[in-house]
Structure 1
Amino acid sequence: MIPEKLQEILQTDGVVAIATLGKDGPHMVNTWNSYIRISPEGRMLIPAGYMHKTEENIKHNPDVLITLGSSKVKGLHGPGAGFLIKGKAAFVASGPDYDLLKSKFSWLRATLAVTIDSATQTW
């Protein structure tokens, strides 16, 4: 489910934007490509140090949109590649998804686990 090009992007540095929709409207938060891990089941695992508004929104509506990219990865039309990811998210504070990230990021308070519905290369 994780395209090879997306895996390549996750190995480089770049900004990730995560959009959620709550009772008060849309909200966005950022993280880094290199922070994201993929679970053996294919979920995107994103460390959350803060992301309190994101967590509140996901309790209301688990749908997320994520964009990420890298100028260092060859894209559809030359240098630079990016993806739009649509999925369902949950915050987890125990279990294998949490433990995997906690071993890498001591500041972790929870793992944002995203089950990918679609991953579309946009550039």
Structure 2
Amino acid sequence: MDPKFLEVIKDTTPATIVTVNANPAHVVNTWSHYMQLVDDHTLLIPSAGMHSIENDFPTDNHVTITVGSYKVPGTTGTGCGYHIHGTGHFETEGTHYDEMKAKFDWIRAILVVTIDDIQQKI
């Protein structure tokens, strides 16, 4: 896993989650430091809402997540950003859910993203 990417998701900046199968696309936000990387292919995101993208998943569960940090040097100077592409599903029970619920008592579910690729954009 790219160490620079790990720095970016630890920063306290917004993360945007997009599904494109709706018209218009659905967009929700969270904080990047809420996200937990389980391994190189699994990302957990606590969810209090996110109903619009959850409702998209029966049709198409592909997601794009954008994260960035002004504090991490990018490709051309200050600021670094990434696009994460993958597929998602929501869980309301199980080990991952219990671990996230212990950290974030306000969640109703977790968005589990299986990462296809991570691309540095800036």
User: Which TM-score band applies after superposition, normalised by the shorter structure?
Assistant: over 0.9
Residue range with higher mean Cα deviation, 8-17 or 33-42: 33-42
The corresponding residue for 2:111 is 112
Contact 1:71 1:81 (C-alpha < 8 Å) held by counterparts: yes
> CA contact under 8 A between 1:14 and 1:34: conserved in structure 2?
yes
Pairing of 1:91-102 with structure 2 (within 5 A): 91-102=90-101
Matches within 5 A, 1:1-123: 2-40=1-39, 42-123=41-122
Offset, 1:22 = 3.8
> 2 CA distance for matches of 1:8 and 1:82?
11
Amino acid at match of 1:28: V
The residue identity in structure 2 corresponding to 1:114 is V
Provide, for residues 22-78 of structure 1, a one-character-per-residue CA deviation record: whole Å limited to 9, x for no partner. 454411001111110111464110000011111111222110011110001111111
Q: Which runs of 5+ in 2 are unaligned?
A: none
TM-score scaled by length of structure 1: 0.92
CA pair 81-45 structure 1, distance change in 2 beyond 3 A: same
Gaps of 5+ in 1: none
RMSD between superposed Cα atoms in Å: 1.4
Distance 2:100 2:84 in 1: 20
TM-score (ref. length: structure 2): 0.93
Q: Number of aligned residue pairs: give it.
A: 122
- The 10-residue stretch of structure 1 (59-68 or 35-44) with the greater mean CA deviation from structure 2: 35-44
